[in-house]
Amino acid sequence: MQLNRLSFLAVAAIFHFSYIWSIFDIYFVSPIVHGMRHHSSGIKPPAKRLFFIVGDGFRADKCFQSHTPPFLKDGEDPTPRPLAPFLRSRVLEAGSFGVSHTRMPTESRPGHVALIAGLYEDVSAVTTGWKLNPVNFDSVFNQSSHTWSWGSPDILPMFKEGAVPGKVDALSYSEDDEDFTGDSTKLDTWVFDHVRDFFAQAEHDEELRSAVNGDKVVFFLHLLGLDSTGHGFRPYSPEYLWNIQVVDAGVQDLVNTVDKFYGNDGKTAWVFTADHGMSDWGSHGDGHPDNTRTPLIAWGAGIRGPDIVTDGTIASGHDEFSSDWNLDRVRRVDVDQADIAALMAHLIGVNYPANSVGVLPLEYLDATDEEKARSILANALEILEMFKVKEAKKMSTQINFVPFALLQEGELSSQARVDKIQSLIQSQDYGSAISQSKDLILASLQGLRYMQTYDWLFLRTLVTLGYLGWILFALAFVIQQHFLGSTATRKWSSAAFVSFLSTLTGVFAIIYVQQSPWTYYMYAFAPVFFWWQVWLSRDALMVGLPLLAQRHGPHRYFGLLVKSMGFLVVLEAIVYGYFHREVFTVCFVLGLTWPWFYGVGFIKRNAITVSLWSVSCLAMSVFTLLPVVKVESLVQIHSAGGLMLATGLGYIAYGHRLFDTDTKTIFNGKYMQFLLGLQCGLIALSMAVTHGSVQSIQAKKGLPFGNQVMGWCILGLSLVALPMHRLTPLRHYQHQLMVLFLSFSPTFVILTISYEGLFYVSFCAMLAAWVQMEYLVYQQVNSTEETRAKNRGVRVLDLGDNRIALFFFFFIQAGFFGTGNVASLGSFSLESVVRLVPIFNPFAMGAILVYKLLIPFAIISANLGVLNRIIQAPPSALFMIVMSITDVLTLNFFYMVKDEGSWLDIGTTISHFVIASLFCVFVAALEPLSGLFVGDQGVESAKEKKKE
Ligand SMILES: [Zn+2]
């Protein structure tokens, strides 16, 4: 069974596409389970009803700091003062307060889920979208006897749909009202007005009146105004500050209305908080403390009054963050966001939401020690229950299940712990009961994580073996096809086939018994298949390796080892470069030293090539230090254009020196001179047109229609020159590369914002120098009689070819990073295409942008194609070596995928992994591209006699 090249490519594509999916099965599996029994504290609930108010995007410090009131009229007092005086009075006179710490991602949906359901955002939502409710989870609203809610249509439906039908009433304004630039305080006054109307109606409506007088009812006010003003004007703007005043006044008015309605019966509990904060630049989502710190103020039934120190010291809980709130006397108690769900459940005496991981913040409670002990035990039982359900589910399917050690045996077993706590409560040792309940909660939470990551070892092992297997498989394939030439051996063995089949059956059986998803079969098949193939090719590998070592002089294996380590270091450096582009700068500077490995004689003989290599390496090292965000600069555009033009003109004048007599005649012919002249003319023209376009656009006069038409004409004509060159018989490789460079130059002038044009020039120069260097090195290494005799005219691959593959791979990455950040297309600004498409048109703009991005890769693949031919390496061998080493990167990124953090962090790690996976397929696609640009007739190699 011998694979041909086409099936090799097919295997590569299928393998890489299917393995991309593995990260979702490993990292993004929903933690939510069902089937838990419910638990409530069982004590008499301190409150009959709960008012839960969320100021969306309300930052903790803005809630308590003093500011000059915004929009003052003449004569009003400008002294800075707290802008939420009513909420502050609750802190000082009536309740408890602190900072509620949210987790990332700091978005509205996960924030509300944590507050109301007590569970932190389910990362599996990455694959299902996050606005709607991808999974059903229990919530405080669902446990209440009834919940009325008012607010944004983005938030309310999520809890209404997730709850028992009819239990949650949701009243929203329409989505059109959420305009970021209008007066967003209207969103809040809308809510307050409707709640006031609601209670006014309840005065007369008998049915409603008895409903709102029931036990365990919740009123939820979602105030979106602050989020909108924060986004629109930023959190230190007068608009945001004004919005704080609106919210504060609204809450005060609401409290009066409610107290009046219920006749001050002392049975109302109040919780005010926010879903997330807001950064100084008006955004949220990441883990910046401004986004994760939100205020929590609770008062009313069941809530402990303020704990105030009177001796002039600072009350506990305060730090630098709260130092300018002027609340030092009052104890500050911080909580984690999900704890608020537990607090609310306790206050009205409903079951803790079944999926909640929140821990009851006892410091907030106005309760006896016994009540606290009983309530937190119920809390612990609820979280333990979740663990037990997960454990039972896993245990029922796993072969050889390994239980979670901290909850397993003897005194540690969950039952023993619960019994102990109950007996402590019996004997009125409430303090110990509480601390042991807290321990149990901690152990259960760790157990939940243990269950969540239980499959990781198995899956990661499969995936790792799969990628390693692929790398070896691909290498063995290249060695067999190109290294050993006709001596390649590949033994079919029935024994190996039987062991392959039985291993596969064994792994499939495990997957089947454990009822794992069907995708697991896919992940298991690849490693078994690849390793079987590698085993069959072991002779090729065994013969190939010593041969490689032989070529490396007296030290043999040691030399091979050192070089292989060097390769790995470069590959790891590239991985690091995804996070710090500067790594590429270091690599380019190190690249300067390459020619020195071949001795001073080599450098002296090839001074021109070595200098071009050194200069272009230095130039390339600059770009990854420049900012990704670019500012339009005519100077830079014109210097790039000038360099392109000078190169072209220089080539017309002196290019003939490269060729022997016959070729020289063609080069000096009229047709060739006309073509090259035309290409230079197009570059000059593109500079002129771009100059006009930039000035006009900068002067806000728009793009003149003439300039747009000219731009498109230049773009088209510059590409026509390429096939026209094909009509000439000139096939010298340096000529071909020069033609390619000149063909894409006008495009780069038109599409450049700042330094991309200079990058293009340096990049092409470096590649040309590289091809020439490799050619010279190849000649030097193969110059001795001995080597020639050994090769006996057959060109096989050697380790030097691996270096070429590595350089190529590095240049591909550099092509991406030179002008942008590979992981975010946002760093490739649309600004550059407005000279061709002035009106916003995502499709056309995107297409041109991608075209611009792909040009460096066209150039680089053409260079490799040329190189492959002039050093007479077997066709496509170099490309295939690259295809095998790309997965060193993929494997790295596979382990770096994050399942927690902001959407941005998670998304970045995913895209790194996916990009690395696809590189292999991308490289495979580059090869035919090189044929397209360089031509299939082969490249006339440089003349030996010229080099002497
Ligand atoms: Zn929000």
* Each residue's pLDDT tens digit, 434-443: 999 999 999 9
The identity of residue 714, as a single letter, is: I
The Å distance, Cα 272 to ligand 1 centre, comes to 14
Which residue from 200, 137, 535, 521 is spatially nearest to 354, judged by alpha carbons? 137
Distance, in Å, from the CA atom of 275 to the CA atom of 294, rounded to the nearest integer, reads 7
* Contact yes or no for 103/358 (Cβ under 8 A): no
Question: Would you call 8 helix, strand, or coil by DSSP?
Answer: helix
**What is the DSSP secondary structure assignment for residue 517, as one 8-state letter?**
-
pLDDT of 946 over the 70 cut: no
Give the other-Cβ count within 10 Å of 126's Cβ. Answer: 20
Say which range, 3-7, 596-600, 755-759, 828-832, has the weakest mean pLDDT: 828-832
Q: How confident is the model at residue 338 (pLDDT cuts 50, 70, 90)?
A: very high
Instruction: Tell me, in angstroms, the distance from the centre of ligand 1 to residue 319's CA.
Output: 26
Q: For residue 486, is pLDDT > 70?
A: no
Cα–ligand 1 centroid distance for 786 (angstroms): 74
In the numeric block, which tokens belong to residue 69? 């009131």
Structure tokens at 846: 């995107």
Residue 534, pLDDT score: 85
Q: Per-residue pLDDT for 816 more than 50?
A: yes
Would you say 202 and 209 are in contact if contact means Cβ atoms under 8 Å apart?
yes
Give tens-digit pLDDT for 79-116.
888 999 999 999 999 999 999 999 877 888 889 989 99
Residue 582 binned pLDDT confidence (cut-offs 50, 70, 90): confident
820 pLDDT tier (thresholds 50, 70, 90): low
717, 683 contact by CB (below 8 A)? no
- Residue 485: pLDDT band (50, 70, 90) is low
Reported confidence tier of residue 538, pLDDT bands at 50, 70, 90: confident
Q: Does the structure show a pLDDT above 60 at 938?
A: no
**How confident is the model over 918-935, as a mean pLDDT?**
72
Rounded to the nearest whole angstrom, what is the distance from the C-alpha of residue 243 to the centroid of ligand 1?
A: 15
Question: Ligand 1: distance of its center to the CA of 325 in Å?
Answer: 24
284 CA distance to ligand 1 middle (Å) = 8
Taking a C-beta distance cutoff of 8 angstroms, is the pair 853, 828 a contact?
yes
If you average pLDDT over residues 34-62, what whole number do you get?
A: 90
% of the chain with per-residue pLDDT over 90 = 30
* Ligand 1 centre distance from Cα of residue 107 (Å): 6
238 Cα to the center of ligand 1, angstroms = 20
pLDDT at 414: 83
* 555: pLDDT strictly greater than 70: no
Lowest-pLDDT choice from 206-220, 235-249, 376-390, 615-629? 615-629
Ligand 1 mean position, distance from CA 912 (Å): 28
Distance CA 791, CA 871 (A): 14
Domains of the chain: 49-73+86-367 (3.40.720.10)
Phi, psi of 703, rounded to the nearest 5 degrees: -90, 120
Q: How far apart are CA 30 and CA 137, in angstroms?
A: 11
Is a pLDDT exceeding 90 seen at residue 685?
yes
Q: Which of 162-171, 184-193, 645-654 has the lowest mean pLDDT?
A: 162-171
pLDDT digits (tens, 9 = 90+) for 712-734: 999 888 888 877 877 777 777 88
Q: 64 alpha carbon to ligand 1 midpoint, in Å?
A: 19
Instruction: Give the span between the Cα atoms of 767 and 619, in whole angstroms.
Output: 12
Query: Residue 623 and residue 756: Cα distance in Å, rounded?
Result: 9
Q: Which amino acid is at 268?
A: T
The torsion angle over the Cα atoms of residues 23, 26, 30 and 35, rounded to 10 degrees, is: 160
Cis peptide before 105 (omega within 30 of 0): yes
How many angstroms separate the alpha carbon of residue 56 from the centre of ligand 1? 5
Mean predicted confidence (pLDDT) in 799-811: 78
Enumerate residues with CB within 5 Å of ligand 1 (an ion): 56, 108, 227, 275
The Cβ of residue 424 has, within 10 Å, a number of other Cβ atoms equal to 20
Of 769, 768, 775, nearest in space to 800 by CA: 775
* DSSP helix/strand/coil, 699: coil
pLDDT in tens, 213-252: 999 999 999 999 999 888 888 888 888 999 999 999 999 9
Mean pLDDT confidence for 453-466: 88
Measured in Å, residue 358 CA sits from the centre of ligand 1 at: 20
Cβ contact 916:823 at 8 Å = no
Query: In the prediction, which pLDDT does 581 show?
Result: 78
Q: What is the pLDDT of residue 641?
A: 92
Report the alpha-carbon distance of residue 680 to residue 224 in Å, rounded. Answer: 59
Whole-number Å distance, alpha carbon 445 to ligand 1 midpoint, is 27
Give the CA distances from residue 279 to residues 57, 235, 824, 843, in Å, rounded to whole numbers and listed in that order: 9, 7, 21, 32
* pLDDT score, position 840: 62
Structure tokens at 728: 């000439």
pLDDT over 70 at 553, yes or no? no
Can you tell me the distance from the alpha carbon of 189 to that of 223, in angstroms, rounded to the nearest whole number? 9
From the CA of 237, how far away is ligand 1's center (Å)? 18
352-366, 713-727, 837-851: segment of lowest average pLDDT: 837-851
* C-alpha 57 – ligand 1 centre gap (Å): 5
CA of 26 to the centre of ligand 1 (A): 29
**Beta bridge pairs of residue 49:** 217, 268
- Beta carbons of 817 and 577 less than 8 angstroms apart: yes
CA–CA separation, 82 and 65 (whole Å): 6
Distance 226 CA to ligand 1 centre (A): 9
Mean pLDDT of 317-335: 91
Sheet containing 168-172: give its strands across. 168-172, 146-151, 217-223, 49-55, 268-273, 293-300, 96-101, 335-336
Percent of all residues in the chain with a pLDDT value above 70, rounded to a whole number:
87
